[in-house]
Structure 1
Amino acid sequence: MGHWIINHGLTYFIQVVWMAINIFLFVWFFFIYELGDQYFYTRHILGTALAWARAPAAVLNFNCMLILLPVCRNLLSLLRGSFMCCGRTMRKQLDNNLSFHKMVAYMIGLMTAVHTIAHLFNMEWFYNSRQGKYDELSTTLSNLGDDDDETYLNPFRSLSDTPSYIVFTTIAGITGVIITLCLILIITSSMEVIRRSYFEVFWYTHHLFIVFFAGLVIHGAGRIVRSQQNIDSPYNLTYCKDDLDDWGEKPECPIPQFAGGFPQTWMWVIGPMVIYLCERLLRFIRYMQNVEYRKIVIRPSKVLELQLVKNGFKMDVGQYVFLNCPEISPLEWHPFTMTSAPEEDFFSVHIRSAGDWTQKLISMVEQLPEGAQGPKMGVDGPFGTASEDVFDYEVSMLVGAGIGVTPFASILKSIWYKFKESNPKLRTRKIYFYWLCRETSAFEWFADLLQVLEREMEERGMGDFLTYKLYLTGWDQSHANHVMVHFDQDTDVVTGLKQKTHYGRPNWEKEFEQVRNENPTAVVGTFLCGPAALADVLAKKCVKYSDVDPRKTKFYFNKENF
């Protein structure tokens, strides 16, 4: 339990605080509109639906303030650098940025639904009151504003007005429709199945957030909900509501004066909007900077390696960049973890064919004449990830699945460069590396790096520093027979490495048990770049195999998120 708190405690604490603020705002504003005297007459027409419309609006303001911040990548990288002195637990929270972004989005979706449904009821009740279908007070209130010296409460100013007419002709109505449609499209296109299979649909639809925020800022200017302005003494609310004939005749019963509230949404969202605008401006500046190709290599398994050079570009291990190729799409930016080490004078990415964009890029490069420069490439980054913290741990477990090996290529290369120095300054004394692949060809482009590392470690008497295990998770019978025939060879038949390839999936119980036994007092960082299902397994194993005794082995789980 103690280590669960260490691993996940701060994350859940932040979520609890966020939820508590949401609940407080909802309850606080609900009772303002449900009990406030200034809304007495408004409530008489609308009932509790008034509070059910306005309380979610307050929660929406708060969450719309938050929604942009987790996707300001440069801001997060700046914070990550600022938190270097604050311990790994604080920095880990920044790796949950997309999870928090989704959580806030779900709250916005829920509150929008409540807000919209309540206002639909409000429109119906405003309409019925104007038509005289309720009591005398409702009808009188709805007729206010017909004379020159009066202010109105009911937005239906004519008996011929219909709810549909009001919704599509008022500022609040039309912007509300636009906001809701944008939100529906954004949320539905963000579903996993669409994002994975039709990324372009997700990408373009997500940019409706610009229309969403524009509509959001304007929405409150409609001032559709109005409150009584002359509620102060000598106004006698209890007496006036029952004696309509005395309105305007007695000093304690002046004709009620109504006005819409000052729009406040822009005050909540203006700060994050400015920050995001600066973020996009910085991305544009980076996009305009020249990027040159040092080398272009088509690796086995349709993996494209790009070695790029850009003035002033500095990276750290495990970081990622966003790439844009205007010849394919001027708007699409895709994240790729860098496979180069900080010690190199270029930065590289390995790109697997995994969708329309990557397939088009690989096809363009394949058609280039020998020695030619590739298509114009925009580079935004680098950005920090959990893998930056690898060297902060005494012992690290690196787990890559398929192309998810890329951040660890950067880390292992950097280790190789560090050991080329006579006295490498490394806090890390042991690394366990696990790579899971479905087919043998996926190993090919990375095996050469492991061969160099294997040889280098042995020459320096550091063979125990790096323990790596490769797992082939999919194979056929003919391949299994071929492996059996060559089993006695010194090197592996698949990779050419001395470490033989394992078949099937790792027994994580056994692996964690081994790491704990070999490092009885260590703090172990477990890093994954791979699927969510594997993340759940490893996170649970980190909790299970961490000892409650602070002097014994502790496992900390970290996952790459894009």
Structure 2
Amino acid sequence: MGYWIFSETTTFVTIVIWLGLNIYLFTDTLIWYENADSYYYTRIILGSSLAWARASAMCLNFNSMLILIPVSRNFVSFLRGSLCCTGNMRRLLDKNITFHRLVGYMIALHSAIHIVAHLINIERYHRSQSLDAGGLCNTLSYIGNHPNESYLNPVRRYETSITKETIVTLAGITGFIITLALVLIITSSTETIKRSFYEVFWYTHNLSIVFFIGLVIHGAGQIVRGQTPQSLLQHNLSYCKDHYNEWGETEQCPFPQFSGNKPGAWKWVICPLALYVCERIIRFWRSKQDVIITKVVTHPSGVLEIQMKKQGFTMQPGQYIFLQCPSVSHLEWHPFTLTSAPEEPFFSVHVRSVGDWTQKIITECVANRNLLQNIWHPPRLAVDGPYGSATTNVFNFKVSVCIAAGIGVTPFASVLKSIWYDSCDPNRAMKLEKVYFYWLCRDTHAFEWFADLLQSLEEQMSEQGKLNFLSYHLFLTGWDDNQVKHIALHYDSELDVITGLRHKTNYGRPNWHKEFRSIADKHPSDNIGVFFCGPRSLSKILNSMCRLHTSSDPKGVHFHFSKESF
């Protein structure tokens, strides 16, 4: 915990402030509704469930205001590019999706509290209409049955079905729709659904439109009612509450008048919604810009490289874009890390077949090319971006450790290419002085498309006497008996039998404790950036290694862990 607070101070402070505001809003609203004179008679019927329903509603509005901001990609990119966004603040923006999830979980929590509280409220409203309730409860529930009276209890008759009152009313219908949309959004956001059925995740997330529309009009039902300010002046609460049998018979105790709360959720969400509408307009405008596919390259292991051009497109190493292919789907957009360098005359992505959408993209590109070689018509693509990611911070450290698993190497392709171009230009100065690159793959074919880049880097660094600048370690985690024999036969060769590089491929998985200890020993007083793209299980291991090997001495070595997340 100490390491996390030390290395993620800004993140820690932000979460503490966010949690503190939630606690404050909930507590302040709860206390107000428990003590406000205007809701004294409402509390006679409902008890504490009134305050719990209103306190949770307040926190729901607050978090609904925040939920869209982290996913406003252009706004986040604008903040990332501002002069004040450096160091911890930049790492905070890298966690925008994580914060989006946390806010979503908080919305789910307060939604559950709100729903349970109002179910209790409806039951108590209904029960107070019973003759068995007696006393002040009956008197309050019967107000509104005569002319010039405003009701307090929205359940007007005891014979009314509770189910009907819960669902058929405006508050009930919108509440049911909001809840259903929220359940679908949250359940489809699990890692399993997102990775295996991305289309389900994408489509259900668009139910957020339904969620916000329902949220804005939900309060129009005015289920919760309190005594009007004018009535409080005319109706002496301290006396009349004990003499309810005299209501309407004396001038001192007229029947109290009640009114519902006006809808207020729109005041919380109007600004974020306006920001997000602008975000969508920008994305739509970008989607209509022409994208020219200049080249399509088929790599081993089912990886397709698509090289493109677009007017006005500028990028930085490690950024990502969203792709849409209208011939596959007019609605779906999928994120891909850019694998080209800013210095190249094109931008590219590497697409691996991991689902229906990616398989269709590959089919659209490859099938058309093979069918008509001379008059090939590539599919139309729309591009949104580029957007910043954690990997763009590689160049902000003197020492960076880049770790990839499988196709997770794509963000580092752009980084390593940019390093190669920088090394070719002697006039360029970089803060980055040392790069450790680790790549874990299950089969030898996965190395093939990336080996050419590593060979170019190796040759360039050798010519300039900078062989120590880049230290890369390739790990093959799966192999068969024939490969083992072939590897053993050529073990003494100068170049690696798999990649053709000077650095030999390692077999099995790295001993991360040993690797991090070695790096810490070589850089005893540096801030080291650790950047990872790959499965969550390995991310947890690497994060724990950063925590374990970070020195408690402020002048010692400190590892700063970042991972890619879309």
Q: TM-score, normalised by structure 1?
A: 0.97
Greater Cα shift, 181-190 or 299-308 = 181-190
1:16 Cα deviation after fit: 1.7
Match of 1:209 in 2: 208
Tell me whether 1:370 sits opposite 2:370 in the alignment. no
Cα deviation, 1:433-479, whole Å, max 9, x if unaligned, reads 11111111111110011111111111111111111110011122322
Match of 2:24 in 1: 24
Match of 2:140 in 1: 141
| 1:196 partner letter | R
Q: Are the equivalent residues in 1 in contact too, given 2:127–2:158 (CA < 8 A)? A: no
Write the distance in 1 (CA, Å) between the matches of 2:158 and 2:455.
83
Query: In the alignment, which of 479, 485, 490 is matched to residue 483 of structure 2?
Result: 479
Write the distance in 2 (CA, Å) between the matches of 1:78 and 1:173.
40
Q: Are the equivalent residues in 2 in contact too, given 1:80–1:384 (CA < 8 A)? A: yes
Match of 1:282 in 2: 282
| 2:472 partner letter | Y
Query: In the alignment, which of 490, 502, 505 is matched to residue 506 of structure 2?
Result: 502
Greater Cα shift, 397-406 or 140-149 = 140-149
Is the partner of 1:232 in helix, strand or coil? helix
1:295 Cα deviation after fit: 0.6
Match of 1:56 in 2: 56
1:272 Cα deviation after fit: 0.7
After the TM superposition, list the runs of 4 or more consecutive aligned residues in structure 1 that deviate by more than 6 angstroms.
none
Query: In the alignment, which of 490, 496, 499 is matched to residue 494 of structure 2?
Result: 490
1:5 Cα deviation after fit: 2.9
Query: In the alignment, which of 425, 428, 431 is matched to residue 424 of structure 1?
Result: 428
Equivalent positions of 1:146-225 (< 5 A) are 146-225=145-224
* Alpha carbons of structure 1 residues 515 and 231: separation in structure 2 relative to 1, 3 Å: same
Q: Flag structure 1 segments of 5+ consecutive residues without an equivalent.
A: none
Is the partner of 2:8 in helix, strand or coil? helix
1:341 Cα deviation after fit: 0.4
Query: In the alignment, which of 395, 417, 422 is matched to residue 413 of structure 1?
Result: 417
Q: Are the equivalent residues in 1 in contact too, given 2:397–2:529 (CA < 8 A)? A: yes
1:350 Cα deviation after fit: 0.5
Q: Are the equivalent residues in 2 in contact too, given 1:293–1:373 (CA < 8 A)? A: no
1:160 Cα deviation after fit: 4.1
Query: How many residues were matched structurally?
Result: 561
Match of 1:452 in 2: 456
Match of 1:326 in 2: 326
Q: Are the equivalent residues in 1 in contact too, given 2:79–2:85 (CA < 8 A)? A: no
Q: Are the equivalent residues in 2 in contact too, given 1:444–1:495 (CA < 8 A)? A: yes
Q: Are the equivalent residues in 1 in contact too, given 2:235–2:255 (CA < 8 A)? A: no
Write the distance in 2 (CA, Å) between the matches of 1:158 and 1:85.
61
Equivalent positions of 1:395-414 (< 5 A) are 395-414=399-418
* Alpha carbons of structure 1 residues 115 and 344: separation in structure 2 relative to 1, 3 Å: same
Write the distance in 1 (CA, Å) between the matches of 2:468 and 2:13.
39
Is the partner of 2:70 in helix, strand or coil? helix
Match of 2:260 in 1: 260
Match of 2:111 in 1: 112
Greater Cα shift, 471-480 or 89-98 = 471-480
Q: Are the equivalent residues in 2 in contact too, given 1:438–1:474 (CA < 8 A)? A: yes
Write the distance in 1 (CA, Å) between the matches of 2:224 and 2:256.
15
Tell me whether 1:555 sits opposite 2:539 in the alignment. no
Tell me whether 1:128 sits opposite 2:127 in the alignment. yes
Write the distance in 1 (CA, Å) between the matches of 2:555 and 2:51.
55
1:189 Cα deviation after fit: 1.3
Q: Are the equivalent residues in 2 in contact too, given 1:320–1:337 (CA < 8 A)? A: yes
1:9 Cα deviation after fit: 2.8
Match of 1:339 in 2: 339
Tell me whether 1:351 sits opposite 2:363 in the alignment. no
Cα deviation, 1:319-347, whole Å, max 9, x if unaligned, reads 00000111111111110100000111210
Write the distance in 2 (CA, Å) between the matches of 1:214 and 1:335.
27
Note the aligned Cα RMSD (angstroms). 1.6
Query: In the alignment, which of 479, 504, 519 is matched to residue 515 of structure 1?
Result: 519
1:314 Cα deviation after fit: 0.3
Match of 1:533 in 2: 537
Match of 1:248 in 2: 248
Q: TM-score, normalised by structure 2?
A: 0.96
1:159 Cα deviation after fit: 4.6
| 1:243 partner letter | H
1:248 Cα deviation after fit: 2.3
Greater Cα shift, 185-194 or 395-404 = 185-194
| 1:441 partner letter | H
Write the distance in 2 (CA, Å) between the matches of 1:514 and 1:191.
36
Write the distance in 1 (CA, Å) between the matches of 2:84 and 2:76.
15
Write the distance in 1 (CA, Å) between the matches of 2:122 and 2:560.
54
Match of 1:271 in 2: 271
Is the partner of 1:328 in helix, strand or coil? coil
Write the distance in 2 (CA, Å) between the matches of 1:45 and 1:543.
54
| 1:110 partner letter | L
1:157 Cα deviation after fit: 2.7
Is the partner of 2:184 in helix, strand or coil? helix
Q: Are the equivalent residues in 1 in contact too, given 2:235–2:256 (CA < 8 A)? A: no
Tell me whether 1:37 sits opposite 2:37 in the alignment. yes
Is the partner of 2:285 in helix, strand or coil? helix
1:373 Cα deviation after fit: 3.7
Write the distance in 2 (CA, Å) between the matches of 1:293 and 1:222.
53
Cα deviation, 1:178-218, whole Å, max 9, x if unaligned, reads 11111111111112222222111111111111001000000
Cα deviation, 1:13-49, whole Å, max 9, x if unaligned, reads 2212211111111111111112211111111111111
Q: Are the equivalent residues in 1 in contact too, given 2:178–2:210 (CA < 8 A)? A: yes
| 1:315 partner letter | M
| 2:239 partner letter | Y
Write the distance in 1 (CA, Å) between the matches of 2:255 and 2:399.
77
Write the distance in 1 (CA, Å) between the matches of 2:2 and 2:206.
42
Equivalent positions of 1:459-470 (< 5 A) are 459-470=463-474
Tell me whether 1:5 sits opposite 2:2 in the alignment. no
Cα deviation, 1:65-88, whole Å, max 9, x if unaligned, reads 111111111111111111x44431
1:516 Cα deviation after fit: 2.1
Write the distance in 2 (CA, Å) between the matches of 1:513 and 1:160.
74
Write the distance in 2 (CA, Å) between the matches of 1:336 and 1:309.
16
Is the partner of 1:146 in helix, strand or coil? coil
Is the partner of 1:444 in helix, strand or coil? helix
1:294 Cα deviation after fit: 1.1
* Alpha carbons of structure 1 residues 139 and 387: separation in structure 2 relative to 1, 3 Å: same
Q: Are the equivalent residues in 2 in contact too, given 1:320–1:383 (CA < 8 A)? A: yes
Write the distance in 1 (CA, Å) between the matches of 2:543 and 2:304.
32
Among the aligned pairs, what percent are the same residue?
Answer: 53
Cα deviation, 1:296-331, whole Å, max 9, x if unaligned, reads 111111101000100000000100000011111111
Q: Are the equivalent residues in 2 in contact too, given 1:523–1:555 (CA < 8 A)? A: yes
